[in-house]
Amino acid sequence: MKSYFSTSIPTFCLLSIMAITSGFTRATKSDSEWLVAEAKALIETGWWSNYTRAENHCTWPGIQCNAGTVIEIDLGGHGLNGDITPQIGALSKLQLLNLSWNSLTGELPSSLGNLTQLAVLDASYNHIHSIPLAIQRMENLVSLSLSE
């Protein structure tokens, strides 16, 4: 128990600090360009097919934003099917991605390796058959669930 707490608490603090600072270090694109690119990537996943770029994507189901940037996608048990599109890798500030309990197929896209801030990836209970090596690049990952 002791060693569990002594290692997990610093990790948690680090993630919190990163979440706070990421608001100030947003990439090279202007804010509006960034938002358009983000909404485009979300639409291309096909998971929000009823929504349009004109709406604020931070209000779409399962999405959480921080300072206007997507940091969480929680679509566990949302009846998603088909392959995961590589565009998901463009959401570079993503910290949590929960796709569990769906009917997703194919392989996890290697573009997931671009999600260097991702701390939690839950793709369990799907029909995913392979995992790319690029996943190693997700250097902040603390929880990875790919069972079943």
Ligand X SMILES: *[C@@H]1O[C@H](CO)[C@@H](O)[C@H](O)[C@H]1NC(C)=O
Q: Does 50 sit near ligand X (CB under 6 A)?
A: yes
Show the binding pattern over residues 100-139: x = contacts ligand X (CB under 6 A), - = does not: xx---------x--x-----x-x-----------------
The single residue among 90, 131, 142, 144 that binds ligand X, judged by CB under 6 A, is 90
Are the beta carbons of 72 and 64 closer than 8 angstroms? yes
The single residue among 60, 73, 84, 89 that binds ligand X, judged by CB under 6 A, is 89
Q: Does 45 sit near ligand X (CB under 6 A)?
A: no
Strands 69-74 and 63-66: antiparallel
Q: Does 69 sit near ligand X (CB under 6 A)?
A: no
14 DSSP 8-state letter? H
Q: Which residues of 56-74 are buried (b: 16+ CB within 10 A; e: fewer)?
A: ebbebeebebeeebbbbbb
Distance in angstroms (rounded) separating the CA atoms of residues 141 and 110: 15
Name the site residues for ligand X (rule: CB under 6 A).
50, 76-77, 86-87, 89-90, 98, 100-101, 111, 114, 120, 122
